[in-house]
Structure 1
Amino acid sequence: MAQSGIKVAAECVTAYEELKSKKAFRFILFKISDDGKEIVVDETGKEDDWDVFREKLISSKSKDKRGKEGVGARYAVYDFHHTSGEGIVQEKPGLLSWIPDDAGVFVKMTYAGSKEALKMALPGLAADIQASATEDLEYEGSVRPKVFKRL
């Protein structure tokens, strides 16, 4: 359980296992449920296109304490593929926390305080990345997204 008391829904672990073992998805977007009680799967995608994934993050919406929708935050697992120096294609799922600078304080605090619970529920992540500006989600050349520079 997170410091915030928000739990991770079983569907999150199931979707992650399908991404890792069955390669059913390229990415999974997670959000905090509207009632604020758990982290749930928001969307899965098979698109092999970083720009599609990026746009889904940037256009997400979250609700504040009063239920008003505004700039959104999300957690995501992206199955990043890259070629090693030896020419071997490697697949490494990484956790990405998208908490934009212009999100409300309540949204920022809730997502920041709940991330550890999701991270603990998803074993085998190759990276844990925080992005807060759209520039953080740009590709670095044509090689890899900036946020995954540690992979």
Structure 2
Amino acid sequence: MSSASGVQADPACLEAFQQLKLGKKLKYIVYKLSDDQKSIVVEKQAETATYDEFLKHLPENDCRWAVYDFDYSTADGDRNKIVFYTWAPDGAKIKSKMLYSSSKDALRRSLNGVAVEVQGTDADEVDHETVLEKVLRR
């Protein structure tokens, strides 16, 4: 699938997401634009990680997309939801923000099973408590 900017998600992006969605192996995936900015590729994935470990892979001065298998507890027991992140920190270059914004749909539409979307421009917008509030509202 391609976006208005012509960027396409690499098949490996979708394969990794299917593993995460089915609860097989992956806890999170971080996506980025390829060096030639023509496709979306997997930058990092992990089978196990805490939420803080995941956040360390969102760069301070560049954009990324990510999905995280977010675990939480309710009175009814333990739950999880897949959260999609658009990370565009204030310190990122404007060109990068524009490319990531215009290419998001190429990735997001192909990730069936995402329950919550989070857009972050600073650490407070993606901290555990803030995301947990969004997850609980869904």
State the TM-score, normalizing by the size of structure 1.
0.83
Structure 1 runs of 4+ aligned residues shifted over 6 Å read none
2: CA distance, partners of 1:21 / 1:105? 36
* Counterpart secondary structure, 1:30: strand
RCO higher in structure (CA 8 A, sep ≥6) = 2
Residue 72 of structure 1 pairs with residue 73 of structure 2: no
The size of the alignment, in residue pairs, is 134
Alignment of 1:81-96 (within 5 A): 81-87=71-77, 89-96=78-85
* Counterpart secondary structure, 1:13: helix
2: CA distance, partners of 1:81 / 1:139? 10
Match of 1:116 in 2: 105
Question: Conserved in 2, the CA contact under 8 Å of 1:27 and 1:76?
Answer: yes
State the TM-score, normalizing by the size of structure 2.
0.90
Letter in 1 for 2:105: E
Percent identity of paired positions between Structure 1 and Structure 2 = 33
Alignment of 1:25-36 (within 5 A): 25-36=26-37
Letter in 1 for 2:79: Q
Question: Conserved in 1, the CA contact under 8 Å of 2:21 and 2:113?
Answer: no
2: CA distance, partners of 1:22 / 1:124? 12
Match of 2:133 in 1: 149
Structure 2: runs of 5+ lacking an equivalent: none
Letter in 2 for 1:137: V
Give me the CA root mean square deviation: 1.3
State the Cα distance separating 1:128 from its structure 2 match: 1.3
Aligned partner of 1:129 among 105, 118, 123: 118
1: CA distance, partners of 2:128 / 2:80? 17
Residues 84 and 95 from structure 1, CA distance in 2 versus in 1: closer, same or farther, beyond 3 angstroms? same
Letter in 2 for 1:11: A
Letter in 1 for 2:91: D
Match of 2:91 in 1: 102
Question: Conserved in 2, the CA contact under 8 Å of 1:129 and 1:148?
Answer: no
Match of 2:9 in 1: 8
Structure 1: runs of 5+ lacking an equivalent: 60-70, 141-145
Letter in 2 for 1:93: I
Match of 1:43 in 2: 44
